[in-house]
Amino acid sequence: MIRVAICDDNLNIANSIENGVIDMDIKGLSCDVFSSGVELIRHLQSDQISYNIYLMDIEMPMQNGISTASIIRNNDQDALIIFITNYKEYVYEVFEVLPFRFLQKPVSSDELSHALLDAIEHIQRAGQIFFFQIGHQKYQLHYHEIIYFEGAARKVVIHTASGTYETYGKIADIIVSLDKSLFCQTHASYIVNMDYIRSIKKMDVILQEGIPIPISKKHKNEIKRAYLSFIEWRCGKQ
Amino acid sequence: MSYFTTPASTLVFAMEILFNIIDMLFILRLYNRGYGKANISNRKHYLLAALVIVVVTCFARAILAPFRPAAWPPITVLFSFPFLICYPKNRQKKILYSIILLTVSWAWLFAYDLLTSPLEFKNIWVITSGVHCGFWGLLELVRKIDKGEKYNIPHSLWLLLTAISMASMITLGMTWYYVTQRDNPYLLTIELPMMLVFLFTNISLFAFFDRFSTLMRTEQENILLEQQLQLQNKHYEELEAVRDQIHTSQHNMKNYLQTASQLAARQECNEELIEFLRTASGEINKVEQVVSTGNPCLDSILNIKISEFHHENIKLDTIIHIPPNLNLSFEQVVGILGNLMDNAKEACQNLKYEERWVRINISYTKHTLFIRLENSAQEIKLWKNGLPISTKKEAGLHGLGLKNVRKIIAEIGTMNIESTSNSFVVRIALFDL
């Protein structure tokens, strides 16, 4: 189930976007329209719900798209925010809320469906599940929770933001089962979630939190190539 | 024909001729690697060399005692020297290599002689094959070491390397003389390890020369790249200054026109003049920046290049979404975007008007700046070290643009270049901005 919120003070535009979303005819996708940031935030807080994708106009009276988005971002790190902007309108603070994409008015149905399909693909990729066992206990983690895998002797340590898990296995077996568009092997004993990469240096990959992960010569070119494709995909192919 | 008393001795002579020809071919193979392609046809080259070496071997057979071998690697090396004139000019390398090669072949022969002479078992076939096979091995080893660098090394360094080789040769000669004059010449003595050391030293000289030559080339290349970058920076600084000036005068002009229209409005019957002045100030408003991202140097280079694209009738499609104040220097932006957009423009200039297009995507996500520049272009077939070989006529400027881009990016990101049948795509990710 993917939930989309459209927020635009111009109801004509909001409706045409909603129609565009409905016309795409995607299964399991629901769509709500809000005419102001205030209304959207009130709805989020009172009903204790959240949306996966926000299509947000930047220029709105009272509470503009950016401050609305920053409230959403504070409560939900995974929300995908797509801004709808006027041509030439350039708002610099917009990057602080980590936007997923930008759409320019007037929004063509092609561009809308392109951005939305990318967002859905992103959610589906990150939402895939990795199963493993510790002793006889079965565990599962969403892909987006996993920062990196580290192999040590016959064990594999799974690092997540909330802690580490240790399971029996081999890095070589795990990489085969993972989605290569999201995970990349950097070393005989490391697999990294590319969503968490901050930079690639000569000898290691630096993660968003500053943790260095070693790169082996064998995987160096491969990881650079994979990360470039990943970033290109994140930025939206032309 | 008193030399060939038995069929065996005739056969041995035939073998010597064959081995000598092969020696010569191996030497020419090494020359091809070291000096580049010979400027006469391969067939002529090899045939002539074979002919020369056959004559030399026959001559040696005629003057030497029958029990002496007529095939000596150093002699073959000596007679390969005249062929050096067939190769591109490179006096420094040719002289040094010739001396080292001569020393190496002689040291090898000497070492082999010292090693095999004390042996009880003496089969002429085995002994002769051994010396030649070993020589081929050495030549192949040198060929492996030599990367075909053609850059001259500093003269003093060259003199030093040549002196080392010359000194080895002289010592070799003296030792040879000493050993043959001795009562029991072929005892396994100190001479053998000495010869091996000479062999090793002289082969190392090839490696030294090659390394130094490579260093010289990279240094020269870096100087060129640096110069190119400085020129570019200057060019853009000047352009920016001009643009600033135009902006200021446009701004002033607009004010003058507005003042003029206000003055005109005070008098009656000036409708036409007022209308004219209004249109004129409107025209000025139209000339403004196309891109404005809050990154001054990036904006100015993009705007300069975009207006150049318009002049060339290039259809342009841009997606630019980046935060302001990115941590990029003027040099980096000029080096990357300036070069890429220049390349795109040049590629488009070779196409018809209706086929010219450029797509630029500059986006930012997760501390990474992503740049994708695609332009219509003919397919590129010639590549070297992952970069296309430039088709530009002016020597010295060959492919400097992309080399510079790669040099700048090496420290801060990664890049990928692709060429399809009708387009050229460069993708770049710059980390941690």
Q: Is the confidence at residue B3, as pLDDT, over 60?
A: no
**Whole-number pLDDT of residue A55:** 93
Locus of tokens 């420290």: B411
Pairing, β A29-34 against β A2-7: parallel
**Whole-number pLDDT of residue B234:** 81
CB spacing of B431 vs A92 below 8 angstroms: no
How many CB atoms neighbour CB B163 within 10 A? 11
Residue, of B66 and B398, whose pLDDT is higher: B66
Q: What is the mean pLDDT of residues A172-177?
A: 91
Of A195, A225, A236, the CB nearest to B416: A225
Q: Which residues contact B243 (CB under 8 A, 6 or more apart)?
A: B300, B303, B304
Q: Is the confidence at residue B287, as pLDDT, over 60?
A: no
Q: Is the confidence at residue B105, as pLDDT, over 80?
A: yes
- Please state, in angstroms and rounded to a whole number, the distance separating the CA atoms of residues A17 and A27: 17
Is the N-terminal amide bond of A106 cis, ω within 30° of 0?
A: yes
Residue, of A234 and B287, whose pLDDT is higher: A234
CA distances from B300 to A49, B241, B304, B335 (A): 45, 10, 6, 14
**Whole-number pLDDT of residue A213:** 95
Residue, of B347 and B148, whose pLDDT is higher: B347
Is A184 buried (19+), middle (13-18) or exposed (0-12) by CB count in 10 A?
Answer: buried
DSSP annotation of A205 reads: E
- Please state, in angstroms and rounded to a whole number, the distance separating the CA atoms of residues B205 and B161: 7
Q: How confident is the model at residue B284 (pLDDT cuts 50, 70, 90)?
A: low
Q: How confident is the model at residue B396 (pLDDT cuts 50, 70, 90)?
A: very low
CB spacing of A228 vs B359 below 8 angstroms: no
CB spacing of B427 vs A95 below 8 angstroms: no
Q: Is the confidence at residue B187, as pLDDT, over 70?
A: no
Residue ranges and CATH numbers for the domains of chain A are 2-126 (3.40.50.2300), 129-234 (2.40.50.1020)
Half-sphere exposure in the Cβ direction for B431 (13 Å, CA): 24
Q: What is the mean pLDDT of residues B35-53?
A: 88
Helical (H) or strand (E) element with A191: strand A190-193
Of B319, B323, B431, the CB nearest to A92: B323
Q: Convert A118-149 to b/e letters by CB count within 10 Å (16 or more is b).
A: bbbebeeebeeebebeeeeeeeebebbbbbbb
Number of helical (H) and strand (E) elements in chain A, helices listed first: 6, 15
Instruction: Report CA dihedral (B341, B347, B348, B352) to the nearest 10 degrees.
Output: 180
**Whole-number pLDDT of residue A140:** 92
**Whole-number pLDDT of residue B1:** 43
Of B317, B367, B416, the CB nearest to A228: B416
Q: How confident is the model at residue A175 (pLDDT cuts 50, 70, 90)?
A: very high
Q: What is the mean pLDDT of residues B200-224?
A: 89
| % pLDDT > 90, chain A | 53
Q: Which residue of B has its CA nearest to A223?
A: B414
Q: What is the mean pLDDT of residues B101-129?
A: 85
- Please state, in angstroms and rounded to a whole number, the distance separating the CA atoms of residues B371 and B223: 27
> Chain B residues with CB inside 8 Å of A90's CB?
292-294
Q: Is the confidence at residue B41, as pLDDT, over 90?
A: no
Q: What is B290-433's CATH superfamily?
A: Histidine kinase-like ATPase, C-terminal domain (3.30.565.10)
- Please state, in angstroms and rounded to a whole number, the distance separating the CA atoms of residues B344 and B359: 10
Most confident of A183-192, B121-130, B210-219: A183-192
Q: What is the mean pLDDT of residues B117-140?
A: 86
- Please state, in angstroms and rounded to a whole number, the distance separating the CA atoms of residues B304 and B298: 10
CB spacing of A199 vs B361 below 8 angstroms: no
Q: Which residues contact A109 (CB under 8 A, 6 or more apart)?
A: A20, A23
CB spacing of B368 vs A92 below 8 angstroms: no
Identify the contact set of chain A against chain B, taking CB-CB distances under 8 A.
Answer: 88, 90, 92, 94-95, 98-99, 102, 195, 197-200, 206, 208, 224-225, 227-228, 231-232, 234-236, 238
Q: What is the mean pLDDT of residues B169-196?
A: 81
Q: What is the mean pLDDT of residues A16-29?
A: 87
Of A95, A199, A208, the CB nearest to B364: A95
Of A92, A200, A231, the CB nearest to B294: A92
Q: Is the confidence at residue B153, as pLDDT, over 80?
A: yes
> Chain A residues with CB inside 8 Å of B323's CB?
92, 94-95
Complex prediction ipTM: 0.88
Residue, of A57 and B236, whose pLDDT is higher: A57
Identify the contact set of chain B against chain A, taking CB-CB distances under 8 A.
Answer: 292-294, 317, 319, 321-324, 359, 361, 363-368, 370, 372, 374, 414-416, 427, 429, 431-432
> Chain B residues with CB inside 8 Å of A102's CB?
319, 321
DSSP secondary structure of A113-145 = HHHHHHHHHHHHHHH-EEEEEETTEEEEEEGGG
CB spacing of B365 vs A234 below 8 angstroms: yes
Q: How confident is the model at residue B394 (pLDDT cuts 50, 70, 90)?
A: very low
**What are A148's strand-pairing partners?**
A159, A192
Lowest mean pLDDT among A98-107, B144-153, B377-386, B397-406: B397-406
Total residue length of chain A: 238
| % pLDDT > 70, chain B | 93
- Please state, in angstroms and rounded to a whole number, the distance separating the CA atoms of residues A214 and A205: 6
The pLDDT mean for chain A works out to 89
Helices (DSSP H) in B267-338: which residue ranges? 271-286, 296-311, 330-333
Q: What is the mean pLDDT of residues B114-131?
A: 82
Say what angle helices B73-80 and B91-116 make with each other, to 10 degrees.
170
Sheet with B413-419, edge to edge strand ranges: B315-321, B357-365, B368-376, B423-430, B413-419
Chain B nearest C-alpha distance from A238 (Å): 7
CA distances from B53 to B32, B48, B71, B145 (A): 18, 9, 9, 26
Q: For the segment B237-279, what is each residue's pLDDT rounded down to a tens digit?
A: 877 777 777 777 777 777 777 777 777 777 766 777 777 777 7
Lowest mean pLDDT among A169-173, A211-215, B181-185: B181-185
Which of these, B39, B28, B152, lies nearest to B101 by C-alpha position?
B28
Which of these, B94, B378, B358, B403, lies nearest to B226 by C-alpha position?
B403
Instruction: Return residue ranges of chain B for CATH 3.30.565.10.
Output: 290-433
**Whole-number pLDDT of residue B294:** 80
Residue, of A47 and B46, whose pLDDT is higher: B46
The pLDDT mean for chain B works out to 84
Please, are residues A55 and A82 in contact by the beta-carbon 8 Å criterion? yes
**Whole-number pLDDT of residue B395:** 42
Lowest mean pLDDT among A227-231, B171-175, B256-260: B256-260
Q: What is the mean pLDDT of residues B92-100?
A: 92
